[in-house]
Chain A
């Protein structure tokens, strides 16, 4: 397993026992105040092959040293952060496949400058802003450097509980046990986010969840949604949910109600911020909510573990937890006034955090709505007629660095039609694009309902006249329309121009990719060992007509 190395200008040793509690025994820690030397010295631990991520935790006061006890000088302070950034630059240039996570700069709230700080040019607040701006600017040219928002931790929990000044004087330790615990939790959460371990679908109950009251009993006129009081809490909650859809989160409803009552509320309650069409799937009925959850997953073609369910009713939450343990079901707050802060800290942060938003994310709800409309048409037409009527247009992209974020996201998120389920980071995808012996293909899809963006990806390594499929995946939204076969042949056409004569591929089974199990066999490749396939390029190309035939 790849490791995290911890560097700091203060003593972070107490993190070791927290890491042990998490079952992580062998993290690397640099010596106290060795953070810059370790980044520059090629024989230091951070250069070890097993280190994937370097976490640089900076204490602002210690970074400034004596400058912290005098009138602040922005320029001199920026020089100090530049020393750190230059060391990071040296490291990431030498090790482009490793990541550096750097904490932002936080000054303590008790400054000897008192009111001078905000009212004069002598200001640590200005120093803090300038140093943090320097870090943000640095990120623009270094995509393998990520900022860790330590400022948020301090603001959320409070300086007095995160810090413990006594241990600073005893052993250069700045934080309390609680502080270390929170620092580590946030760090691992950030790492999980950058590895793409986030959820896709937010499933919501209606009554007393996104509005106050019971629509079937209270009617449209009496449910609580307003600009004041309790109604304002629900309205703000709806605004927050709507904003979340802009980051690519898909919404669904799972509610015990008459659908007509719910529709009436969405159509007639003027303070309703969420609209009927914001929800891609609506299960508004009197069925068991467990069954509804399964149907939502099935209809959206997502796995249950990519769903989060919010319901005010403890019975319904427990029922879903018991029968579908893969679904994340957070507790609902007892104090309604906490609903919105709970939603951010208890739902958005743990389940829907992101480091990037792609073009596809911005239009995710539209994409799924089109997907649902296509599905409706599928039921009324013969499959072949349906595919033909879609008027599908596919565009192949090859080694396109502009797509690297989306291509990374596809490797991290695609489960069902994914032959090897290899998860790659942005740096790894970039290195494949830039490697002259590898090719990264992206497939864009468009049909009569609209453009879906990049929905397919293949990573191929060439060894002489043999092409090896490392990754082959298609987003589940377009599966079953011969897109998976067409994409394959488009790639083969390109490989032929590179004088490739044969292709190799393998299938790595997971719990979720049974759908793609027989793909290579179906396409005409020979299974030389279990799940290992090989074929002559011309032989496969000769089957193109029959494999793409719609009849």
Chain B
């Protein structure tokens, strides 16, 4: 999957989880910068990303990821390893 397509998929999941307009969410943002993004939504986000992007993160990896960019890099890294 191309980086653009992956980014847009992740942004769309974040928009859905946080119920924000997707155009107001940017790749460089940290999760904390998205208004109302709470710890439950963060877990929901990872559950959905793992399911919909077909990757599996460890508990340590999830705890370390603080930005959307880090999440997308993490998915790319996992996909490289699995391919």
State the A residues within 8 Å of B (CB): 11, 13-14, 17, 164, 166-167, 169-171, 173, 176-178
Contacts and interface: CB of A to CB of B under 8 A. Distances in A.
A171 B40 contact: yes
Interface pairs A-B: 3 shortest CB-CB: A177-B51, A171-B43, A166-B59
A383 to B, nearest CB: 62
A176 B47 CA distance: 7
21 contacts: A13-B43, A14-B43, A14-B44, A17-B16, A17-B17, A17-B44, A164-B47, A166-B58, A166-B59, A167-B46, A170-B43, A170-B46, A170-B59, A170-B62, A170-B63, A171-B39, A176-B47, A176-B51, A177-B48, A177-B50, A177-B51
A446 B10 CA distance: 65
Instruction: Select the residue from B44, B50, B63 with max chain A CB neighbours within 10 A.
Output: B44
A163 to B, nearest CB: 12
B31 to A, nearest CB: 14
B3 to A, nearest CB: 24
Contact of B48 (A17, A166, A173): A17
Interface of B: 16-17, 39-40, 43-44, 46-48, 50-52, 58-59, 62-63
Contacts of A178: 51
Contacts of B43: 13-14, 167, 170-171, 173
Contacts of B63: 170
From DSSP, what is the main secondary structure of chain B's interface residues? helix
Instruction: Select the residue from B39, B40, B62 with max chain A CB neighbours within 10 A.
Output: B40
A13 to B, nearest CB: 5
A166 B47 CA distance: 10
Nearest to A170: B43
A13 B46 CA distance: 13
A166 B52 CA distance: 17
A419 B82 CA distance: 62
Contacts of B47: 14, 164, 167, 173, 176-177
Contacts of B50: 177
Contacts of A170: 43, 46, 59, 62-63
Contacts of B44: 13-14, 17
Nearest to B61: A166
Nearest to B58: A166
A131 B41 CA distance: 34
A93 B55 CA distance: 47
Contacts of A14: 43-44, 47
Given A177-B50, A177-B51, A13 B40 contact: yes
A473 B43 CA distance: 51
B59 A169 contact: yes
A526 B39 CA distance: 64
A34 to B, nearest CB: 15
Nearest to B63: A170
B19 to A, nearest CB: 9
A13 B41 CA distance: 9
A169 B48 CA distance: 17
A133 to B, nearest CB: 34
Nearest to B39: A171
Contacts of B58: 166
Contacts of B17: 17
A365 B48 CA distance: 48
Nearest to A172: B43
A544 B58 CA distance: 79
Contacts of A177: 47-48, 50-52
Contacts of A166: 58-59, 62
Contacts of A173: 43, 47
Contacts of A164: 47
A103 B43 CA distance: 24
B28 to A, nearest CB: 25
B63 to A, nearest CB: 7
B54 to A, nearest CB: 11
Instruction: Select the residue from B51, B52, B63 with max chain A CB neighbours within 10 A.
Output: B51
A173 B59 CA distance: 13
A167 B59 CA distance: 8
A177 B16 CA distance: 15
A14 B16 CA distance: 12
A169 B47 CA distance: 13
Contacts of B59: 166, 169-170
A161 to B, nearest CB: 11
Contacts of B52: 177
Given A170-B62, A173-B43, 4 more contacts: A14-B47, A17-B48, A166-B58, A178-B51
B65 to A, nearest CB: 12
A166 to B, nearest CB: 5
A11 to B, nearest CB: 8
A170 B39 CA distance: 10
Contacts of A11: 40
Contacts of B39: 171
A227 to B, nearest CB: 44
Nearest to A13: B40
A17 B41 CA distance: 10
Contacts of B40: 11, 13, 171
A171 B63 CA distance: 11
Contacts of B62: 166, 170
A173 B51 CA distance: 15
Contacts of B48: 17, 177
A169 B16 CA distance: 24
Nearest to A21: B16
Instruction: Select the residue from B43, B46, B63 with max chain A CB neighbours within 10 A.
Output: B43
